[in-house]
Each structure stands twice: as structure tokens, then as C-alpha cells.
A and B are shown apart, each in its own frame.
Chain A
Amino acid sequence: MIDQDELKPIRVAAHAADPGAPEGGIGTPLPRKDGLLKVTGTAIYSGDVDLPDLAYGYLVSATVAGGRVRSIDTAAARVHPGVIAVVTHEEDPIRLRQPETYEGPFDLGGPGAFLAHVPMQDDRIYYDGQYVALVVAETFEAAQEAASLIAVEYEQGPVAMWGYGEGETQKLDGLYYGLGHALHRRGDPEAAYDAAPVKLQATYHTPPHSHQPIELHTATARWQGDRLELWDGGWPHGVQIGVAQMLSIPRETVRVHSEFIGGSFGGKVLALPHAALCAAASKRLRRPVRIQLTRPQLFHAVGMRSPTKTDCRLGATEDGRVTSMILDGVNATCLFQDWACEPSTLASRHMYANPHMHADMRVKRANLPSNVPMRSPGEMASMFVSESLLNELAEATGIDPVEIRRRNEPQVNLENDKPWSSRSLLACLDRGAEMFGWADRDPAPGSMTRNGKLIGWGMASATYPTLVTNASVDARIDADGRITVRAAAMDVGTGTYTILPQIAADALGVPVSRVHALIGDTAFRPAAAAAGAMTAATVGAGVQAAAVKLRDRLVTLSLESPNGVFAGAVVDDVEVGDGVLRHAPTGRTVAYEEVLGDIPYVQVTGHAAPGAQTADYSMYAFGANYVEVEVDPVTLWSRVTRVAGAYASGTVLNPLTARSQILGGIAFAVGAATTEASYADPRDGRWATDDFGAYHVPVQADLPLDVQVEFVPEEDSIVNSLGVKGLGELGGVGMPAAITHALHHATGRGFVRHLPVHPESLAAVSADGEH
């Protein structure tokens, strides 16, 4: 929310000539302002920075998933042509501070955001691919070849696997980084379940996922004296804090650039050890150093979405009203971190009107890389659970799955008894059903066919919380009339460079072409990470506050400075808009920049913080997914052929980039539902799927050509001054359940409860859904 104290009580009137919105403002489907830079290859990513005397680092990955390094023979690597330095935990080690706890990416004032394990400090191996040595050379190729000459001997230790249902699980106090409680109970869920006339039991599984943005994680470091300049492609202030802590240097001495980021999915939000190793190597060698991770290293060492297993019991009335849900989830995690970042019980806590609920989340420690948030962390698994349960209930009771959601619509959020700031789930369900043609569905499984194929229609709700945090943004106008908004926000490819100027253009009453966003640099004020769909809502609100303040500052200047263009006039007579100030009594207008006079620029800072009332409300975006699948009746192999989705996420700042975000979410969900999974060898915990030939991200052929996306109008004055609910996570949440629902409908086979749906999955599932 805009801090109201920051705003002077200046009356602002739209310019009389045109009270309409400025060109390119909020709600305009504006193409990306950075699009030309990207398609012409002139956007500079962290691996593109051209520095004189740059050296190249290459990290050696462990080939055991647990145990110790017995010895490392670096002799051949050290004499390889072009090699400058070789680092291990014993030879010329780089000492980094081991963070004691993992800190979350949500608290700007907090101590940082980094992986909880810093490698190459001792001989212990906790996960496959953990870095054991660093080679720095004159070229990437020399470093890579020398790295392959390093001979590491390991003492294979015991390896704890994350396999479902085996081994001990551990109680948890908090989810994520302590943001939420692992246990939620209301009512008397066991008694209500026992008394329920309709009972369901099911266990759902989701696999490990890997973020895999196109841009490989890359750090480029340069020192000038004691000051570090780091190009990282991550969250600027999070990386600054994390790297400074690992290096034990003051954070003020670290400047981080991440002007362009080639995808993140949550994976670029953390400060990662390779960046600190890169910086330390650069300092030691007195020259710039770059470390670019390899594609396999992105599967090994930068964190992942860990697998889940959720045991569920659901009790309901015969008319489909859920009375009790009892969910016990397990999220695998690494050996050195407690949080569950994929809590598979989360969404069920607030989605429906069941008065009785038990939802508990535990972790299972295994030799895995860090368990970190990946796109829609928690909602991916928990909406698969929640929506599968509702669909299985619909099947058990013979009630239409849309109707069953209507019958379970809660008036308030029963998790905390708070009212919704707005909740448009039913509107989304209705609009989505209309777009899809749901009314034409024959509910009998196996009843719909086309060209010899079985056709299935399925659906699911979508939800994502509206997370808000603080944001401070500078807005500036230069004497040449150029307007900039500045904050250390991230554009991970989602459109931050475009929507921030749109918000400022609206507030200032100027065409969007005059406004530019400067982001991705710790030289600017801290801003939320591009995580949890926070950027538009929080940084956007900060931009609005700053732009309003800049506009008011210009009015003040025009009136109060000795040479002010309207010196002596009264504030009520000045109108603002269309890039000009207008003195109403005389009709005299002056452009914004003319107000500056001899001042080179005017810069103000706007602040946005969660408003007091946000604590009194439950704030979520909702949506509805409708899916068609086609199944070969002979092989039972399937594909998704059609999707319609309706989403309500408050104000839509830019329908074009918003639609793209949703489409990306849908593609992501098709991957989560039908192709993507990491598998590790059960004998030694080593990954068997650490390249794109084995870890199948979806390709165009997996995605339906017929995709309809609509935004349902929704006004929400509670969430923030813009009425924006983040939608970066919303697209595709719940869709895996819609897909398994459609597969059930197509074939009459049981619900697939193990993701992803492989070609053999339907054949393997019995009528009651057990594998």
C-alpha cells in the first residue's frame, strides 16, 4: 500500500483536454519494451559481460551422492596449458562462511537468501554433483579440459534415498523458511471422517523437478580494491547479502548487476555458492573471473523441487459437501535443511468449506540437493492433491465436478477465519466452463470419442496467494524530459521492464514511451525478488507511489521555487496530466521538464508496504482450468489437446504479458503433469536424468494448439493500491489434476495419482486408482 503520509494533499485533476488514460498505461497490451534488445542479441546477460583479462572458472562435480572425498589429484590439471589456478578443499582452499540457516527471499531486511550448503569447505559429500574442485584458466575450454583431468577418489558413504514410503520422516515446525506452520487443524477431523457417509482414501505423489531456465547460472566477478562488482543474473540484493556473508565482507562493498535474466522459475532468487567462489577466485587472482555452470550442474547443485507423497482421507455428505479432510504429506529434503518448500497439503487448507481439517507436513532427509522453491512452490503439489480429491469425490457421488466446487465454496477462509479480500473462483469456474463448452460433456467415462480416439474432459480450480512485501522505488525526471523508475527488481522474462513504466505512465499522465525502468542493480533501492508472484504487486505499488510523488513534487516546484513557472499561484489552480502542468485560470501549460529550470533532474522515492488491513484479510488469486485429452485406446498413450482457463487476479496491468505468463504456466503444468521428473539410481542416489535428453521438458508437440485464456474482471482495493494480485504463479496451478481427471474421464480407468503421467501410467492404474 502507498504510505499515505508520503503524499502531500495536492489536488490532482486530469488534464482538461483528455481525461483518458495515457498511451500505453495500465491495461494496455503493450509489447515488451526490452523485446528488441532480446531478439537482436544486444541485451547483456551476466555471461555476456566483456571484461579485459577475464579468466574462466569450471567447477568439478562429485560423482557420488554421499560420503567423503578421499583424495584429489590435481597434478595433471595444474600443468594443463592455460590453467591459472586449481582450488580444492585442501589445496589453496577458498574459505567461505557456511550460512547457519537458510533465509528466505521474502524479507528485504533479513539476513539474506542463499543455499544452506557451501561446498569445498571440507571432505564431506551430501549430494550428487556437489562441487569438489574449481579450475580457473585463460579460456573456458582449457578450464573444462583441465577439470576433466582431475582425479577424485571417494569413500562412498551411506546414501539416504527419497523414495516414497520408506525410512523415517521428521516433524516440521515451519514451512518454507518458517513462513507458515506445518500443521493445521480445525474441528474434529477424525470424528467427522468416521461419521461421513462418503469416504475417500488416496495417496498422491509428485516427483522431483528441476528449474532449468534457458540461461545457465553464470557469475562474473571483478574487484576494484575492496569493492566487488558481480554480474549474477539473480536477485540483486539477495545475492549481495548472500555473497557478502559467504565472503565475510560488508554487504555495502558488493554491487550486483542482473539487468537481464534468462528465466528463473524460482531458481535465480538465491545467492549460490558458485558466485562466492567466483568472487573469491577473482580477488585471489587479481583479475576478473567468470563461472558458468553446465547444464548437468543445474540438475545437481542449485536446488530443486523435491518430491512429495500425500496420504489423504476425505469425508463428505452424499450431496458432495466435504466435511473432513485428513492430509499427511511428506516432502523430501536434503541433509542440511529442514524446510518443506513443496508442502503438498497447503492449498487444501483454504480452498474449500470443510469445517474439519487435519493437514500436516513432514520432511524426509535424503542425499538431495537443496530443497528450494520452484514455480508455484507448494501449490503445484497441493493443488494436485486438493483438486484430485474434489474430482474423485465428484466421481464417487455422481455430481458434476464444477457443481461440487460450488457446493464447497467457503464464505471465509476457514484456515484463519478471515474474510477474502476478493474471491472470484465461482466466476472463473463459470466463465471457464462457458469458454470450454463444459455443458456438452457426457459425464460417463469412456463415452466420448473422436477419430478413433478416446476423448476426456477434466477440470480443476487454481489458486495462488497474493504475497506482499515492502518496496521502495525512485522516480526521476531529467532535464531532457526522460522519466525513469528505478528499483533493484528482477525481470526474469515476465515483463517487469514493461509493466513498471506502464504504472508510472498512468500515474504521471505521460505516454509510456517516455518512461523507462532501470532495474536489476543494487545501485537502486531493494525490491522484492521475482518470486511468489510478488513483483507486479509490490514493486508496482512502489512505482505508483514514486510516480505520484514525482508528479506532486513537480507541482510543488512550479509553485514554490523562486523561479517556479507558476510561482505565486495556488495549488488548487494547477492541473496535471498529459505530461504537462496547466494553470487553470490562465490556461497556461508547461511541460514537466520545463518545471525543472536549472535543476538537472528531480528524483523522489516512493514507498509501498503491506497496508494495515492486509492482515485482516485472506488474499488469493483464483482461476479455473478446463482440459481436453485424447487417448489412444490401444496403447493408452495420451496427449493434451485443448485448454481453456479463466483467471481472476485483480487489475491486469498488461493483458499481453499477463497472457504470456499464463500460457507459460500452462506449458509448465503440462510438463509437470505429463513429462517432467528426475530419477535417481536407487542404489547410490546419483541422478539418471541430468540432461535434456532424459529430463523431458515439454516441447511444442506436447502442448495443445487450442488454448484459450481469459481474465475475469475483479476489483480488489485491499491487496494494494493497484488492486494487483500476482499472476506469475497462477497459470497452470491445478492443471495436473485437470489432466488426470480428463484421463479418467476418457478411459474410465482409475485416477492417476503418480505424476508425471508417463505413457504407461494409465495401463498401470487399476480402477480404484492404485498403481
Chain B
Amino acid sequence: MRPYNYLVADSPEQAVALKTERPDAQFIAGGTNQIDLMKMGVRRPPAIIDIADIGLDAVEDRGDTIRVGAMVTNTACAGHPLVMQYAPAVSMAIMKGATQQIRNMARVGGNLLQSVRSVCFYDVAQPCVRRDGMNITCGAVGGIDRMNAILGTHPKTNDANASDMAVPMMALGATVNVLGPDGPRAVPMADFFRLPGEVEQLQAAGEGTGNPEQDWYALRPTDLITSVDLPKTRTGQNQSYHKVRDRHSYAFALISGTAALRLVAGTVADARVAAGGVGTIPWRFANIEAALVGEPATPDAFEAAAARSIEGAQTGTVNAFKLDLLPRVLTRALIEAAEGTPANPLFWEESA
């Protein structure tokens, strides 16, 4: 047995206080990722702080935004009427991830922090920049990188962010609300995930947290994610999440694409486009969005815009196929968004 301390918080403030006392502790809520990693010896926290019952489990309408509490389960988030109305791509993305059992346990806050699906992260015999810091090179670089990123890569790592949920959140311009010892603050999701180069700089400058994994997020060790704010973007009628993977359920994205469109008389007035499985962070495509605005909502226009998705892409050993597949998936996501959000974004006919 590997003993560890089990601490229970009953409020967000107490969770932060406990974490301040025990900075070597790790939070646990649904545990769907944390428990796996502890069983495999990837993470060996001397203490865990159970935050499953600290509240923060509501979805609220706050006028221009929807606030999703960090302890809302993935299932509850996906099925909430406000989310389905204003951010149905989030519902769809959640429903395409994991299994019903896992979604019932997993929380929104933890999902934002879910670990990479890198061979070397899970295999403690291999070097991993997430576990060991950016002073070494990830074992997957030059190896089997089929699941790895082509955007936002770095010579030392091309691990892809593994979240489905975060992809449409990134596209919609969500904000992550955080509580620390100094009080609450808001982090735009665009700043929440750090690129490898940013992490490398931070750690080289001695400004890391001392826990290399922690440095990949704009979070201090004493911070608790309290909620995510989803803006009401007026794209709720035209959102999509299209996930291509190595099997049709219960698999991480090879590539997933999300699109949120506001269409006016068949013309794109607003476009938000992002992809999973291709970026070291959930990857939003400002270039595609800019190219689409003012264009007719047609497959040809979508295809032409989606072709820009691979600008700046860097392929690895075996993932060059993503250069071909990424534009295809984004084209499909845009077509589906233009066709309209499914009547039921929890259960809909998946294309192929």
C-alpha cells in the first residue's frame, strides 16, 4: 500500500486554506483521471483534498454569460438547458468524451486539467516534460506520435491537449474563474492553457511552481477553479462538434472540430472555430474565423477557410496524416454547424 493523507474540504475557502497548508496535496473531485494516475504511480501525492462536496455545483444564468460551477458533473453540464441553449457544442463535446459512468463522476473543473494522453506521461520509465519539466525532451518526440499535436508544438514536446469539453469552450471564448488565498480572479481561457515555449520560459526563469505539471496552466498551487463562464454568443442555433477517432466511442480524439456560427441571410456574420487532438492546447483558429466572416455559408467556402487550419503546422514521426485530416474535420464541423445545431445535442445521429 502507498499511504497518503485524505483531507476533506467543505467549502471553496476551506479547500484553498487546506491547499495553502499542504501545497504538496492535490485536489480530487470526480477522480476519473487522478485515481488512474495515482494507481499507475504517475502521480504520488502525499495528500489529497476531496473537494467533491464544496458546493460550486450549479449552472447559473448571469445575463451575458452562463456560469458553470467547477463541481458540476460533466453529465449535468451537458444536459443543462442553459448550456444546451447557448453552448450546445459544449454539450456535444462532453457527450462524445469518455463513457456515461465517467461523465457522471467527472467535474467541469477537473476536466479542464485532464492530463495529456501521452505514452511517456503514463510510462514513468520514459522522460516526460509534464512530469519532469521542460529541461528534458519528451519521449514521444520522434516516437509513436499518432495522438500528438501538430500545432503549438515545440522541439521538446508535441503532446496534445486531451479535453473534448475545453475545445468548444475555447472557441466560445470562455473564462475560468479561480479562487486563491488573495481572493477570486478571472482567467480568459485563451490564457489558461500554456504553450510549451511559455512553460519552458517560465521554468527556465525559475518562476515555475516547482510542480512541472502545474506550470502548464495559469494557476498557482494554491488556486482552486471555481467556475467557467460561457458567453452567450448568439451562435446557439448553429454549433457543432465533430470528433474523429480510432473507434466510434470511448476513444480520445484523433481530431475533433467545433464550429459556432452566426448566419445572416446565408452569410457568416460570426464564426468561432477550434479543434482538439491537434494542438498542445485546445486550438482556436483566428485565421479561419477571419476568413469566414462575410463569406457565404457553403461547403466550398468552408473548405477554403478550413484549408488554413494547417498554417504553421509541424508534423512528427507518424502524424503527418493530420495535415490532410484536420481541414476535412473542420470542413465537416462547419457544414454541420451551418445545417443547424441538432435538436437534441445530447443524442444525435453521428455522421460516420
Contact = CB atoms under 8 A, between A and B. Distances in A.
Main SS class of interface, B: loop
A145 B321 contact: no
A142 B3 CA distance: 11
A682 B117 contact: no
Given A631-B352, A682-B143, A683-B143, A696 B246 contact: yes
A139 B246 contact: no
Interface in B230-269: 242, 244-252, 254
A433 B341 CA distance: 39
A759 B122 contact: no
Nearest to B118: A688
A635 B247 contact: no
A759 B125 contact: no
A276 interface: no
A632 B143 contact: no
Contacts of A683: 142-143
Nearest to B145: A688
A699 B248 contact: yes
Contacts of A632: 332, 351-352
Contact of B119 (A141, A694, A697, A701): A694
Interface stretch (B23-31, B171-179, B199-207, B322-330): B322-330
Contact of B244 (A148, A630, A637, A702): A637
Interface string A633-661: 01111110000000000000000000000
B43 interface: no
A675 B246 CA distance: 6
A691 B122 contact: yes
A701 B248 contact: yes
A303 B147 CA distance: 26
Nearest to B322: A760
Interface string A679-703: 1111100101101011011111110
A224 to B, nearest CB: 31
Contacts of A689: 144
Nearest to A675: B247
A170 to B, nearest CB: 26
B331 A680 contact: no
B81 interface: no
Interface in B29-63: 41
Interface string A548-568: 000000000000000000000
B242 to A, nearest CB: 8
Nearest to B352: A632
Contact of A759 (B117, B119, B246): B246
Contacts of A693: 117, 251-252
B143 A759 contact: no
Nearest to A141: B1
Given A145-B2, A680-B144, A453 B247 contact: no
The CB with the most chain A CB atoms within 10 A, among B249, B331, B335, is that of: B249
Contacts of A142: 1
Given A145-B2, A702-B247, A638 B352 contact: yes
A37 interface: no
The CB with the most chain A CB atoms within 10 A, among B147, B328, B331, is that of: B328
A631 B332 CA distance: 13
A723 to B, nearest CB: 39
A688 B319 CA distance: 14
B114 interface: no
Given A453-B351, A635-B328, 8 more contacts: A81-B1, A635-B325, A638-B352, A758-B246, A759-B244, A759-B325, A760-B321, A763-B328
14 contacts: A141-B1, A630-B352, A635-B242, A635-B329, A635-B332, A679-B146, A686-B123, A688-B143, A701-B247, A701-B249, A759-B254, A759-B325, A760-B322, A764-B324
8 smallest beta-carbon distances between A and B, as pairs = A701-B249, A63-B125, A688-B144, A701-B248, A632-B352, A760-B321, A681-B143, A696-B247
